[in-house]
Structure 1
Amino acid sequence: MGRKTFKVQGVAKLLGISVDSVRRDADEAGLQIERQGGSGPKTRIFTVENVFDLAAHRGRKYGLTPKTKRILTVYAPKGGVGKTTISSNIACILALLGLRVLVIDLDFQANLTISFGYDPELTPEEAATAGLPQSTCVEYHLGHLLPQWQQNGSVQPLAKVIKKPFGENGPHLIPSEVTLDRLEALFTVDAIMGKKPELAIARWLDEGLSGRNPNLDLSQYDIVMFDAPPAKNQTTRGALLASDFAVAPVSMERYSTKSVSYLADVIGEMKNTYSKFPQLSVLGNFFDAKRVRVAAQVIALTSKYPEAWMDNQISSSEEFKKVLDDDDGLPLALARPTSTSADELRAATRELVERMAMLNASAQKDGLRVA
């Protein structure tokens, strides 16, 4: 991943604050900010890590300690709806609000992990030969943290599994790689033995968020996010059952009402079986209000799921394709902070935070300013 930097104006846009606030808060936080070389004005140059450090400082300054911790799954029963792009951007924007974010890649294809700059296919030997840092490689995933993995190898402490692509105050990542697919086989064995594997992730989160296990202390995180694969399997069901909220991105370029109906049915089954279920939010992606098909789909979705349909949507944009070619390899919200797409992502994330009722009114007024 390249080294993206920002001037003060870019940082102000990312954090939704004034340029003067950026300068003042950076000084208050004691951040070590590089200055631009040359004979001209010594402009401050912020790294991505600097920006997240500043966001964390503002979170402490304005008391952005959530009223409650939340668990969120981003899931769509079909591929090609922009789910991983939505996940990576939401995770970054939440951290820019000063929240402590853990995002977990549940897809053995590891698209989210790759989007954060890691290479699940790279061996340590290949990394050394290519002159890449060993941290680029992925050795562990969620499976290595669960008791089920004892049948397949040793359970690892959280510190060995976690990745920090943007430093200590950016979103943290539990990555994925191809052997995560074995976890589903272990869950299937549990199902045959009547052990209710769909509850395994919920138990794991409860233990971690409570801080009872020193090797699995998740208590520092305000929000835990799952990026779930389209597969309709035990792992995905377990993440949904463990979650307070579920975001379902739908592609407005093609009809998605069946996918939302399927997810609503799954949530209904959970409600009837466990009396626990995530609250559903439907996020329109690839949105173009001028297209007749899109308008018809919005009518269908809002009629059937009026409370789930989000007020903010993400428009179709070439910007998403362009960032894939950038050397920086950053999610769009970081790579193109002044773009319309970034504005839309921030607005959608703000709506999610409000739906999750994580912050009190004064904290939202002082800290939740997403331009």
Structure 2
Amino acid sequence: MSRKLKVQAVAHLLETTVDSVRRHIEESGIEVERQENGPRTRQFSLDNVFDLAAWRQAHRQKTKIRKKVIATIYAPKGGVGKTTIAANLSCLFPLMGIKTLVIDLDFQANLTLAFGYDSELTLEEAAELNLPEEKVVENHFGNLIPGWPYGRSALQDVIKKPFGEHGPHIIPADLTLDRLDTILTYDALEGKKSDLKIAALVQEGLSGRNPDFDLTGYDLILFDAAPAKNRMTRGALLASDFVISPVSMEKFSTKAISYLSSVLNDMRDDVGRSPELLVVGNFHTPNRLRVINQMSVLSKEYPGALLDNVIRRSEEFPKTLSEEEDLPPLCLAKPTSDASDELRSVAKALLTKMGVIE
């Protein structure tokens, strides 16, 4: 995912001017490569961009952060762009000064792949292909759970940092993550409160009591849950303040959101709490009567849940991520595109709705 950006693209990503980017680079001391041939223009790496965003937040107080939040991105059915939205939000939040940890809870590991980590790659294969060991997924969220029978790891040994220290931090997934759901199910059968295990772990991390699982440095923790009602998803929802649910406006059915609403109602009955629902309209086609009616239904059935900001149908915003292309998420690959601007507007709206920023 080595990608170089010109100063104009960086200014667009950071929502500032070219002159401000140049000035802040000089003030921060961040080293940016220059083009070797022709004009000696700066060529920003993605690491450079996130470093600059963090510097601006620390020295210019660009974003006033009101509180820390835990959220789960979840849709009861596939094909709604959930993973693509999760990958882009995970990048856009740090660009706005929000320190973000994203946790891939889907053993199919599509989000992990979106950040350049092949969950099926072994250390031996990486050596044969001359790839860095960093590209190999050796641990996942299960390795952080107390009592994990295959060896517990410290948070710092599990996290991946695809764009450096100041970009999104990722807890990757692979096929063996499915074992966690099996363990949680066995615990439940034995009468243990397995559904609250993830919530307890996260709260312990936020308190800073456990140095091996210290979450105090993050402003936002984001779970990317599988489109299934399993124990891991339920645990993530119980740990979360909000659930962000993308819906496809092309093939919208009230059944998916109605099902999710019933799941949240059951949680309130069982444990006395559930995350607040936030709905993001995806694959939106303006001025189509069917879409307008669907938006109206969502607004009436779930007042306050539907974001005003939507993501329109676009060839730049595919439903699935291509394994063929070694590209970062869309907001970084094509930062000046209309789709990227819409994703940025959705990210801002979510941060405001969740109370992370004013």
The CA deviation string for residues 282-326 of structure 1, in whole angstroms up to 9 with x for no partner, is 100011023333222212211211210110011111112498478
Contact persistence 1:148–1:186 (CA under 8 A): no
RMSD: 1.5
1:255 is matched with which residue: 226, 239, 252? 252
**Percent identical:** 52
Q: Distance in 1 between matches of 2:271 and 2:69?
A: 19
Letter of the structure 1 residue corresponding to residue 258 of structure 2: S
Q: Which residue of 1 aligns with 2:93?
A: 94
Q: Which residue of 2 aligns with 1:224?
A: 221
1:356 is matched with which residue: 334, 354, 357? 354
Are residue 239 (structure 1) and residue 236 (structure 2) matched?
yes
- TM-score normalized with structure 1 length: 0.93
The CA deviation string for residues 9-40 of structure 1, in whole angstroms up to 9 with x for no partner, is 00000011111111111111110011112243
Q: CA deviation at 1:111?
A: 0.2
Moved more, 288-297 or 52-61: 288-297
Q: Which residue of 1 aligns with 2:304?
A: 307
The number of residue pairs the alignment matches comes to 356
Q: Which residue of 1 aligns with 2:163?
A: 166
Contact persistence 1:323–1:331 (CA under 8 A): no
Helix, strand or coil for the counterpart of 1:56?
Answer: helix
Q: Distance in 1 between matches of 2:198 and 2:89?
A: 22
Q: Distance in 1 between matches of 2:261 and 2:125?
A: 44
* Aligned residue runs from structure 1 range 101-112, under 5 A: 101-112=100-111
Letter of the structure 2 residue corresponding to residue 270 of structure 1: M
Letter of the structure 1 residue corresponding to residue 273 of structure 2: K
Q: CA deviation at 1:327?
A: 4.3
**Residue segments in structure 1 that go unaligned for 5+ positions in a row:** 361-371
Q: Which residue of 2 aligns with 1:364?
A: none
Q: Which residue of 2 aligns with 1:369?
A: none
Letter of the structure 1 residue corresponding to residue 350 of structure 2: L
Moved more, 278-287 or 58-67: 58-67
Structure 1 residues 333 and 323 mapped into 2: Cα distance closer, same or farther (>3 Å)?
farther
**Residue segments in structure 2 that go unaligned for 5+ positions in a row:** none
Are residue 339 (structure 1) and residue 345 (structure 2) matched?
no
Q: Distance in 1 between matches of 2:124 and 2:290?
A: 51
Contact persistence 1:117–1:136 (CA under 8 A): yes
* Aligned residue runs from structure 1 range 1-371, under 5 A: 1=1, 3-40=2-39, 42-63=40-61, 64=63, 66-149=65-148, 152-321=149-318, 324=322, 327-360=325-358
Letter of the structure 2 residue corresponding to residue 188 of structure 1: T
Q: Distance in 2 between matches of 1:39 and 1:165?
A: 30
Structure 1 residues 4 and 327 mapped into 2: Cα distance closer, same or farther (>3 Å)?
farther
Helix, strand or coil for the counterpart of 1:232?
Answer: coil
Q: Which residue of 2 aligns with 1:363?
A: none
Contact persistence 1:323–1:329 (CA under 8 A): no
Q: Distance in 1 between matches of 2:113 and 2:325?
A: 13
The CA deviation string for residues 120-155 of structure 1, in whole angstroms up to 9 with x for no partner, is 011110111111111111011000000141xx2111
Q: CA deviation at 1:74?
A: 0.4
Q: Distance in 2 between matches of 1:62 and 1:192?
A: 52
Q: CA deviation at 1:347?
A: 0.2
- TM-score normalized with structure 2 length: 0.96
Structure 1 residues 336 and 323 mapped into 2: Cα distance closer, same or farther (>3 Å)?
farther
Contact persistence 2:106–2:173 (CA under 8 A): yes
Contact persistence 2:114–2:321 (CA under 8 A): no
Q: Distance in 2 between matches of 1:15 and 1:326?
A: 28
Helix, strand or coil for the counterpart of 1:215?
Answer: helix
Q: Distance in 2 between matches of 1:325 and 1:126?
A: 17
